[in-house]
Chain A
Amino acid sequence: GNSVTQMEGPVTLSEEAFLTINCTYTATGYPSLFWYVQYPGEGLQLLLKATKADDKGSNKGFEATYRKETTSFHLEKGSVQVSDSAVYFCALSELNTGKLIFGQGTTLQVKP
Chain B
Amino acid sequence: DAGVIQSPRHEVTEMGQEVTLRCKPISGHDYLFWYRQTMMRGLELLIYFNNNVPIDDSGMPEDRFSAKMPNASFSTLKIQPSEPRDSAVYFCASTSTRAGESNEQFFGPGTRLTVL
List residues of A whose CB falls within 8 A of some B CB.
Answer: 32, 34, 36, 42-46, 49, 51, 89, 93, 97-100, 102, 104-105
In the bound complex, do residue B42 and residue A43 qualify as a contact, i.e. CB atoms below 8 Å apart?
no
Please give the distance in Å from A12's CB to the nearest CB on chain B: 18
In the bound complex, do residue B48 and residue A99 qualify as a contact, i.e. CB atoms below 8 Å apart?
yes
Report chain A residues within 8 Å CB of B109.
Answer: 42-43
Report chain A residues within 8 Å CB of B71.
Answer: none
Report chain A residues within 8 Å CB of B42.
Answer: 104-105
Q: CB-nearest residue of chain A relative to B95?
A: A98
Q: Which B residues from 69 to 116 make CB contacts under 8 A with A?
A: 91, 93, 95, 97, 102-110
Interface centre among B50, B93, B102 (most CB of A within 10 A): B102
Q: Is B34 an interface residue (CB 8 A)?
A: no
Report chain A residues within 8 Å CB of B12.
Answer: none
List residues of B whose CB falls within 8 A of some A CB.
Answer: 30-31, 33, 42-43, 45, 48, 50, 55-56, 91, 93, 95, 97, 102-110
In the bound complex, do residue B102 and residue A49 qualify as a contact, i.e. CB atoms below 8 Å apart?
yes
Q: CB-nearest residue of chain A relative to B112?
A: A41
In the bound complex, do residue B43 and residue A98 qualify as a contact, i.e. CB atoms below 8 Å apart?
no
- Picked from B103, B108, B110, the residue with its CB within 8 Å of the CB of A100 is B103
Please give the distance in Å from A20's CB to the nearest CB on chain B: 21
